[in-house]
Amino acid sequence: MPGYDAIVIGVGGMGSSTLYHLARRGLKVLGLEQFEIPHELGSSHGYSRMIRYTLQEHPSYVPLVKRAYELWHELEQNINETLVVTTGSVRAGPPDSDFYRGAIESCDLHQIPYEILNNTEVNRRFPGYQFPDDISSVYQPDGGFVLPEMCIVGHAQAAEEAGATIHTGETVLGWEIQNDSVSIRTNHEVYSAARLVVTAGAWAAKLVPNVATYAIPERQVLGWFQPERPELFTPERFPVFGIWTEEGRYYGFPNYSVPGFKIGKSHHLFQKVDPDTMDREVRPEDEEVLRRFTSRYFPLAAGELLDRKTCIYTNTPDEQFMIGVLPGQPQVSVAAGFSGHGFKFASVIGEIMADLAQNGVTSHDIELFRLDRFDR
């Protein structure tokens, strides 16, 4: 008999949520994490992750984010902590850009309310913004951010309370199918489980050959600048934003946890990396990428750099997720390749992964994320 009903590799954003759902369904589960919970070496740190209905990535993410919101609020009640901060969200870009139009399309298709604001209107309403006149904005009042470290700890704690076992400082070195179960070898031990779930973030390619060529880690950098007028950059007065500009695609958050305006550029310097050897220092050229943009679009926030962090995206070729049961290996399922926009969904991804481990299928629509789509 296998020792566990399911083992989850990686207790980060997706893994902590998967453990939570499996444990609450009464399964005997073990989560294996190579570092601590939480930690700053993966993809889920930096105090805030945007959550929004304006999903220009694809309209079929909208039902998932609806369920994600429900599950975040359920977890907030279970652990008696705030996990979601509502600020409103702005998606902005030239009116003919796919980024801007896609945000509108996803709302229209799913009857999500929003407002269109030109640059004068957006700058007047949110005076921390100073967008130029070729930029249009979609404002959606329900957007905001989730607190990633708190979400991970909350899921892990509630999973433990429901009976899950979690080991930290334990690295999975390999796994193999043995008859109906899976044998999992770590730096400490060999375990067996009826089902294996791999939620290893930037390390997924090292553990699952099926995603190795398609889930590529990329170095990212986050910066927190001191605003000249901090009162304009509070969660009450400053909606989270994503913007498509000639300088690239940037996103930002109000002051929260760090007394500074948080800013990042998607794909930063386009550096593909190995997560075990990535340069984790923030260099002057990294700061320059963030400062140049801030000075132009948010000049009242372009003061001292108060904090800085590196982080990792795990990109797929079409920037959609990879989720499913491995073809021909029904004992193993994987969730990987979140391409810089996965955290908001972590609560529902855990539910999906628990469905796949328990039943091999889920009622959520995950067709967009098929593991075999690049091979077909």
Ligand X SMILES: Cc1cc2nc3c(=O)[nH]c(=O)nc-3n(C[C@H](O)[C@H](O)[C@H](O)COP(=O)(O)OP(=O)(O)OC[C@H]3O[C@@H](n4cnc5c(N)ncnc54)[C@H](O)[C@@H]3O)c2cc1C
Q: CB of residue 311 vs ligand X: minimum separation in angstroms?
A: 3
The answer to whether residue 337 forms part of the interface with ligand X (CB under 6 A) is: no
Bridge partners (DSSP) of residue 9 are 32, 198
- Residues numbered 260-319 forming contacts with ligand X, rule: CB under 6 A: 264, 311-313
Q: Which residues are bridge partners to 97 per DSSP?
A: none
**Complex with ligand X: residue 117 or 336, whichever CB lies closer:** 336
- DSSP letters of 118-173? -HHHHHHHSTT----TT-EEEEETT-EEE-HHHHHHHHHHHHHHTT-EEE-S--EE
Q: How many residues make contact with ligand X (CB under 6 A)? A: 35
| Residue 50 engages ligand X in binding (rule: CB under 6 A) | yes
List 203, 238, 297, 298, residue binding ligand X (CB under 6 A): 203
Residues 21, 34, 157, 255: which binds ligand X (CB under 6 A)?
34
Element spanning 85, H or E: strand 84-86
CB atoms within 10 A of CB 191: 22
| Among positions 75, 222, 332, 366, the unique one binding ligand X when judged by CB under 6 A | 222
Residue 66 backbone phi and psi in degrees, to 5: -60, -50
Q: Which of 21, 24, 49, 308 binds ligand X (CB under 6 A)?
A: 49
Distance CA(183)–CA(296), nearest Å, equals: 54
Task: Kindly state whether residue 10 participates in binding ligand X, applying the rule CB under 6 A.
Answer: yes
Q: Binding segment for ligand X among 26-34, 60-68, 118-126, 155-163 (CB under 6 A)?
A: 26-34
Is residue 8 within 8 A of residue 123, CB to CB? The reply is no
Q: Which stretch binds ligand X (CB under 6 A): 63-71, 201-209, 276-284, 285-293?
A: 201-209
Question: Is residue 352 classed as helix, strand or coil in its secondary structure?
Answer: helix
Binding site residues, ligand X, CB under 6 A: 9-15, 32-35, 42-44, 49-50, 171-172, 199-201, 203, 207, 220, 222, 264, 311-313, 338, 340-344
